[in-house]
């Protein structure tokens, strides 16, 4: 399969928020559609922690992307109208510079010598790419999960970088439950003897730690309602069980194990640690004197769509409502949508019909500059729609 990724070299040195710098760093990204002559139809998409920049199929890579149902000709994010960019976050292992990349000063992988990473660093790197593409202002900035937190950082650090914003299943700061889960994920990886203080290799890979970390994540990505509906208390056939007295007995255990095994070795454990911790560190209240609302009030955009799911336990719907209210207080025209999907945090990846309908509706109200067409009045933030 061809590789559609492109690479943008960041300024060198690229200085980080918490100290340290990167030499010769780069971002991996993919694009779909055509940039207009005035460069006013660009939509930047920032994914969650683990997805790559391959959000959709295209002429250079025909494999399905992680948001295949949403992006493409005639789809919710119509590539016949919009120039779509998806960036792999700084610190990831899907093409952008991260802990698995080689440090040019030593010739060895950075591993845990990688500088302390924040989502603000990722936001600054994204803005470097947008500037290099000749885009003075995005028509729309879209962020999902961790990517949504990065979009908030980018709009704060680079005022007027976008006219419109779509916030999906994200938060203005990590809450204790999310921090606790990610802390356990990091601990599982670090306690695996093969992690070896970050100095693992393909032969000695912390597989057990990564499997446990992924299982913990998957449990929080879906809701209890869906787990019950899909698996109930269904037991495995006796022939499918191991003889170990504590072997998997329930179907849900087998599902989690299969899902985790598909994930390990497709993602760098140190990248997982760095981006997980960066998500915990991000707090928009730092920009508002300790107040989330005051931090959000510093964001300058014209229009926003904020979508959350009422069964999301990782980023509860109240956090998305706080984003909607804060952006409205800052002067944006905000449409807040609370979906009742049973699929929890991951609904934006699987309940694509309903998410796509909301995204299409919002983008259809914009002209190519990201401004609301005069004939359409968006719903105010306080008038949430529960679908």
Q: Which among 78, 192, 312, 325 is annotated as catalytic?
A: 312
In the structure encoding, which two tokens stand for residue 275, read together? 């981006």
Contact assessment for residue 33 and residue 79, using Cβ atoms and an 8 Å cutoff? yes
Residue 81: cis peptide before it, omega within 30 degrees of 0: no
Q: What angle do CA 367, 124, 335 make, to 5 degrees?
A: 35
Q: Which of 8, 158, 165, 345 is catalytic?
A: 345
What are the DSSP calls for 222-252, one per residue?
Answer: S-HHHHHHHHTTPBPPGGGS-SSTTS--BHH
| Per-residue burial over 22-44, b = 16 or more CB atoms within 10 Å of its CB, e = otherwise | beebbbbbbbbbebeeebbbbbb
Q: Where are the beta strands (DSSP E) in 47-104?
A: 71-72, 77-78, 83-87
Among candidate residues 269, 331, 320, 55, the one with its CA nearest the CA of residue 166: 320
Beta bridge partners of 30: 86
Q: Active site includes 26?
A: no
Q: Which of 145, 169, 271, 279 is catalytic?
A: 145
> Buried (b) or exposed (e) across 337-355, using 16+ Cβ within 10 A?
bbbebbbbbbbbbebbebb
Contact 317, 338 (CB under 8 A): yes
Residues 206/188, Cβ–Cβ less than 8 Å: no
Dihedral sign of CA atoms 131, 174, 47, 198 in order: positive
Q: Is 145 a catalytic residue?
A: yes
User: Which residue from 100, 105, 77 is spatially nearest to 355, judged by alpha carbons?
Assistant: 77
Active site residue 310: no
Residue 34 CA to residue 81 CA, distance in Å, equals: 8
In angstroms, the first-to-last Cα distance of the chain is: 39
C-beta neighbour count of 320 within 10 angstroms: 27
Distance of CA 45 to the CA centre of its chain: 9
> Annotated active-site positions, please?
145, 312, 345
């Amino acid at each position: 399969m061809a590789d559609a990724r492109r690479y943008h070299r960041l300024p060198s040195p690229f200085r980080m928020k918490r100290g340290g710098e990167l030499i010769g760093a780069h971002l991996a990204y993919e694009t779909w559609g055509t940039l207009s002559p005035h460069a006013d139809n660009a939509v930047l998409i920032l994914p969650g922690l683990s997805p790559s920049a391959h959000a959709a199929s295209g002429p250079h890579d025909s494999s399905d992307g992680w948001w295949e149902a949403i992006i493409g000709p005639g789809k919710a994010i119509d590539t016949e109208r919009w120039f779509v960019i998806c960036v792999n976050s700084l610190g990831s292992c899907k093409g952008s510079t991260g802990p698995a990349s080689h440090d040019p000063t030593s010739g060895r992988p950075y591993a845990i010598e990688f500088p302390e990473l924040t989502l603000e660093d990722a936001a600054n790197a994204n803005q470097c790419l947008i500037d290099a593409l000749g885009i003075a202002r995005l028509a729309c900035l879209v962020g999902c999960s961790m990517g949504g937190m990065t979009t908030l950082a980018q709009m704060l650090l680079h005022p007027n970088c976008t006219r419109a914003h779509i916030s999906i299943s994200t938060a203005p700061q990590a809450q204790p439950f999310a921090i606790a889960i990610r802390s356990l994920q990091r601990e599982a990886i670090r306690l695996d003897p093969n992690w070896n203080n970050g100095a693992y290799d393909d032969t000695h890979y912390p597989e057990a730690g990564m499997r446990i970390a992924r299982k913990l994540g998957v449990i929080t990505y879906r809701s209890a309602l869906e787990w019950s509906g899909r698996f109930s208390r269904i037991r495995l056939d006796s022939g499918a069980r191991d003889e170990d007295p504590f072997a998997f007995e329930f179907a849900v255990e087998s599902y989690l194990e299969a899902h985790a095994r598909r994930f390990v070795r497709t993602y760098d454990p140190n990248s997982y640690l760095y981006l997980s911790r960066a998500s915990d560190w991000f707090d928009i209240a730092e920009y508002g004197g300790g107040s989330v609302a005051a931090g959000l009030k510093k964001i300058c955009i014209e229009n926003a769509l904020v979508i959350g799911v009422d069964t999301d336990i990782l980023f509860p719907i109240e956090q998305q409502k706080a984003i909607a209210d804060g952006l409205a207080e800052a002067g944006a025209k905000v449409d807040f949508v609370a979906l009742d999907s049973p699929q929890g945090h991951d609904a934006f990846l699987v309940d694509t019909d309903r998410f796509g309908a909301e995204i299409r509706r919002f983008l259809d109200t914009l002209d190519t500059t990201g401004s609301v067409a005069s004939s359409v009045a968006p719903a105010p933030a306080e008038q949430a729609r529960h679908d």
